[in-house]
């Protein structure tokens, strides 16, 4: 049985990013599901792992790590994975792209944030859908513009998949889930399609972890 344990949730974008990174490395890991719908992330057991009450948490090398991008950078640094380029300007760009998704789009579309919106809104499902479409839609339009850059290649930065792609593919999955119109974003769609064709991404896909109900 693998010593590497990922506490995750099938539909969690942040978990999906880490699953892709682990698969890219060919690292075997055990996945333990923390059911966000049943508030498993707020259970005493999970809060002991992560006081923020969020997934993912990765148990690896004797540590319990939180924060998906910090985890991906740790894997990159300790396994010479090449998830970020070696030059500082390139590293800055890959972080910029990754943060544009993880810190701008994802942060305001997180389960806890949206649950609170639904609690205070009158027509809560309509408010939720409009919220998701606004923030994901606007964020992805900006991301498409950021990809209009000479360093963009077959993937977000150059011709090999890296941290920004690990953020993009889950965000595109999530955008589709909320019926966000991505049709005017050719770079986003082309790169996401290329990612979806890779085994490491396909095996990390939410529907490979659990069939949607």
Ligand X SMILES: N[C@@H](CCC(=O)N[C@@H](CS)C(=O)NCC(=O)O)C(=O)O
Cβ closer to ligand X: 75 or 152? 75
Cβ closer to ligand X: 50 or 152? 50
Cβ closer to ligand X: 23 or 67? 67
Cβ closer to ligand X: 8 or 152? 8
Cβ closer to ligand X: 1 or 37? 37
Instruction: Provide, rounded to whole angstroms, the least separation between the CB of residue 157 and ligand X.
Output: 19
Instruction: Provide, rounded to whole angstroms, the least separation between the CB of residue 184 and ligand X.
Output: 26
Instruction: Provide, rounded to whole angstroms, the least separation between the CB of residue 40 and ligand X.
Output: 9
- Among all residues, whose Cβ is closest to ligand X? 112
Instruction: Provide, rounded to whole angstroms, the least separation between the CB of residue 15 and ligand X.
Output: 6
Instruction: Provide, rounded to whole angstroms, the least separation between the CB of residue 183 and ligand X.
Output: 25
Binding site for ligand X (CB under 6 A): 12-14, 36, 41, 53-56, 67-69, 102, 110-112
In whole angstroms, give the CA distance from residue 90 to residue 162.
Answer: 11
């Amino acid at each position: 049985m693998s010593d590497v344990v990922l506490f995750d949730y099938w539909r969690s974008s942040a978990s999906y990013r880490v699953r892709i990174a682990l698969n890219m490395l060919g690292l075997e890991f055990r996945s333990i599901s923390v059911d966000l719908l049943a508030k498993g992330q707020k259970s005493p057991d999970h809060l002991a792992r992560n006081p923020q009450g969020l997934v993912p948490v990765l148990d690896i090398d004797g540590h319990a790590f939180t924060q998906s991008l910090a985890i991906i950078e740790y894997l990159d640094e300790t396994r010479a994975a090449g998830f970020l380029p070696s030059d500082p300007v390139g590293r800055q760009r890959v972080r910029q792209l990754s943060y544009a998704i993880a810190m701008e789009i994802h942060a305001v579309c997180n389960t806890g944030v949206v649950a609170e919106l639904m609690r205070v809104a009158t027509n809560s499902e309509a408010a939720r859908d409009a919220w998701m479409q606004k923030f994901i839609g606007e964020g992805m339009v900006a991301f498409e513009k950021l990809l209009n850059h000479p360093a963009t290649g077959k993937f977000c930065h150059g011709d090999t998949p890296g941290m920004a792609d690990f953020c993009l593919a889950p965000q595109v999955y999530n955008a589709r889930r909320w019926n966000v119109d991505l049709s005017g974003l050719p770079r986003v769609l082309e790169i996401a399609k290329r990612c979806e064709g890779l085994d490491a991404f396909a095996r990390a896909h939410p529907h490979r972890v659990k069939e949607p109900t």
